[in-house]
Amino acid sequence: MIITDLVSMLFRLAELAFAAIVAGLTGDYLHRVRGTSSWSQGRFIYTEVVAGLSILFSIVWLFPFAGSFVHYPADFLISVMWWVAFGLLVNWLDGGCGYIFNWTGITLRGGDSCGKWKADVAFCFLSALCWLVSALLGVYWVHRQRTRATTGTAAGYRRRRWYRRSRI
């Protein structure tokens, strides 16, 4: 039980870090192109919103409580939102920076715009994976808790049947 809490906490920290990186890179780009049409920047605004929501929810759900596993549908939904953001950014790059999974030239500083975009895409991909794993971990935890509750071994003991008298 403690292992699932620790693993969940590690994934939440990774989700928080990846979302912050994507928010920073995408926000920097949106800052540089301010004044242009919002319609032409829609994919980046969407990515920024997804990163902001991910930062918010990863902070809220960071601390391991029993309730932090039951919102796996929200984890799955955020994962789908990250996959959409990943697809939108890959579609925007359209091979202009080479193969999308060739992450050797990634840089967060300097004038290499292809490296920044590949970093943005890479952290979108990693964030989508982390949110998906968090959702699967939540499904596993809820399923395990339900099976323990039906067998009567929740909290490590068997419940006394209501119709049996106590021996005291």
HSE on the CB side for 147, CA within 13 Å?
Answer: 5
| pLDDT over 90 at 157, yes or no | no
Q: What is the pLDDT of residue 129?
A: 96
Residue 163 tokens read as: 């119709």
DSSP letter assigned to residue 163: T
pLDDT band at 25 (very low <50, low <70, confident <90, very high): very high
DSSP letter assigned to residue 152: T
* Residue pointed to by tokens 């912050």: 20
34: left (phi over 0), alpha (psi -120 to 50) or beta: beta
Say what percent of the chain tops pLDDT 70.
79
Query: pLDDT higher for 60 or 85?
Result: 85
- Least confident stretch, 17-21, 46-50, 126-130, 153-157: 153-157
Long-range contacts of 9-13 (CB under 8 A, 24+ apart): 9/62, 9/63, 9/64, 11/130, 11/133, 11/134, 11/137, 12/58, 12/61, 12/62, 12/134, 13/58, 13/62
Of 15, 19, 84, which is closest to residue 51 (Cα–Cα)? Answer: 19
Under a CB-based contact definition with an 8 Å cutoff, are residues 82 and 47 in contact?
A: no
Under a CB-based contact definition with an 8 Å cutoff, are residues 75 and 134 in contact?
A: yes
Beta strands, E only, 52-141: none
Of 16, 3, 5, which is closest to residue 131 (Cα–Cα)? Answer: 16
Q: What is the pLDDT of residue 55?
A: 96
Whole-model pTM: value is: 0.79
Q: What is the pLDDT of residue 164?
A: 62
Under a CB-based contact definition with an 8 Å cutoff, are residues 134 and 11 in contact?
A: yes
The ranges assigned to domains in the chain are: 2-150
* Region 79-107 average pLDDT: 85
Q: What is the pLDDT of residue 98?
A: 79
Q: What is the pLDDT of residue 63?
A: 75
Which of the residue ranges 1-10, 30-39, 77-86, 129-138 has the most confident prediction, judged by mean pLDDT? 77-86
| pLDDT over 60 at 44, yes or no | yes
Distance CA 32, CA 24 (A): 12
